[in-house]
Amino acid sequence: MPTKALMEAELKVCFNSKCRKAMEQPKNGWRCRSGQFAQLCHPCASAYVEGKFCETFHSNLPGWRFCETCGKQIHCGCIVSFHLFVLLDTGGIECLLCTRKSFILQPNPAWPQPSLCLPSHPEGIKDLPAKNYSSVACSGPVPWLQAPKLFNGSSIMSERQANASSEIDVLDSSHIRLADQRSACSLNFERNDNSVERLLSGSTGLSCGLVKGNPVVHGDHNNSSIHDSHHSNSKSDPSFQNTDVALVYSSYTSVNKIDNANNNTATTRRSPTMSTTFNGNGSSHNGLDTSTNLKVCCVNVKGDGQGRSQLLTQYSSPTTDQLPRIPEVNCVLTPLFEKTLSASDAGKIGRLVLPKKCAEAYLPQISHSEGLPLEVLDAKGNKWVFQFRFWPNNNSRMYVLEGITPCLQALQLHAGDIVTFGRLEPEGKLVVGCRKASISSSLDQVYPRLICSYPEF
């Protein structure tokens, strides 16, 4: 079939228009407006990953401007670089690093409006009303992917390892990184580590979704019980052999903790949304390769006093051989949106009403009210399946996730608790996590200013 052959031939050509070389093993680059990743040849992908794509391929193109603050030259003219700068109210641009710095230093800073956000967003997520949900992807989910260098490039090892909060440090480009790679592994291997427990329980104020490979799930739709990795015996638990991990937590918490714990890092760049890569190597108890590689993205919490976030988890978990794995090295968890559970959401009906704009922006497009099943990984890597559907509502739609009751029960979530959705990249799998309402409210009391200073998206 000539068309198919043509498509195949096309697929084997580097997506970079300045390259167009034939390639055998395409690598994912930035996410295109279609949702697909640009397929790049190895050199182009490397340039992209290293943040040198524009300076390599676009040096002769128009659109280069200088950061008003640091003077760094930023390309402002392509999809690869659009997330690297913000338009200043006073004119000119500012690189994201400087923006973040000023964001932190301002008493009540305003995060740049996503005028520079994904052009493909159905509607500006910035328009999301201040309700009990919020979008947490700063510039949409894409920049997290499109700026691997920006978010992962400068990794400075912290010496803080005393506790969970100090195991995380704010790094350049708003990175948060475990103190060292062993610490990173300890998140997964050492279930007796209180810090891990605190992270997952939220007692540190961190809302975590921890995704690892080979999770252990017991249960089904009607009777789900999650294998609590933090109470299990790691030596007998093969689920910990694979330790690709994604971790999600609330940035406001981490920022505060870091600020309190380490004044030296207080001026480091950070943002409402943060991403970190944890690369580590560990050994499982049976000697299997357990190379760990994880990336952490902070979940931004909208600070209107109503907006809360939490990672929600699962629903049905069929069989263990279907359990999710995170095979991809350098997985990134992109925070998408969050919602406080209403009484209805947490009720017996088992339906979670989704914010329409978030549903349309971040979840698959559905044309029929029946919707489609949505696989979601929870904090422990368990796979759940929710039915993502909608109801006609006046001339609009009302999006819901059905079948969330087992998940909520497993996580002991109730009305007022917060559910957060993220996406694991590059696989695109949905990840869900949670935070208890008590944690949130207490944080609001402790850090009202900071929380309120976070922007809406």
Residues that bind DNA (CB under 7 A): 129-133, 339, 342-345, 348-351, 353, 355-358, 369-370, 389, 391-396, 398-399, 402
Closer to DNA by Cβ: residue 345 or 417: 345
Closer to DNA by Cβ: residue 4 or 348: 348
CB of 364 to DNA, least distance (A): 17
Closer to DNA by Cβ: residue 153 or 347: 347
Q: Of 92, 112, 115, 91, which is closest to residue 102 (Cα–Cα)?
A: 112
CB of 353 to DNA, least distance (A): 3
Decide: helix, strand or coil at residue 95: strand
CB of 81 to DNA, least distance (A): 31
Closer to DNA by Cβ: residue 55 or 444: 444
Q: How far apart are CA 168 and CA 177, in angstroms?
A: 5
CB of 393 to DNA, least distance (A): 5
Q: How far apart are CA 457 and CA 117, in angstroms?
A: 10
Closer to DNA by Cβ: residue 132 or 271: 132
Decide: helix, strand or coil at residue 38: strand
Closer to DNA by Cβ: residue 331 or 374: 374
CB of 344 to DNA, least distance (A): 3
Q: How far apart are CA 98 and CA 284, in angstroms?
A: 41
Closer to DNA by Cβ: residue 350 or 455: 350
Which two structure tokens, joined as six digits, stand for 426? 């590059």
The helix/strand count (H/E) of the chain reads as 13, 22
CB of 127 to DNA, least distance (A): 9
CB of 146 to DNA, least distance (A): 26
Q: How far apart are CA 434 and CA 380, in angstroms?
A: 12
First-to-last alpha carbon distance for the chain, in angstroms, is: 46
Contact assessment for residue 72 and residue 94, using Cβ atoms and an 8 Å cutoff: no
Closer to DNA by Cβ: residue 100 or 357: 357
CB of 97 to DNA, least distance (A): 33
Hey, what's the torsion of the CAs at 165, 186, 226, 438, to 10 degrees? -10
Decide: helix, strand or coil at residue 30: strand
CB of 343 to DNA, least distance (A): 4
Closer to DNA by Cβ: residue 91 or 392: 392
**β-strand partners of 248:** 209, 297
Cis check for the bond before 426: say yes or no (omega within 30 of 0): yes
Q: Which residues contact 242 (CB under 8 A, 6 or more apart)?
A: 212, 213, 214, 290, 325, 326
Residue with tokens 């009210």: 369
Q: Of 276, 310, 307, which is closest to residue 456 (Cα–Cα)?
A: 307
Contact assessment for residue 310 and residue 345, using Cβ atoms and an 8 Å cutoff: no
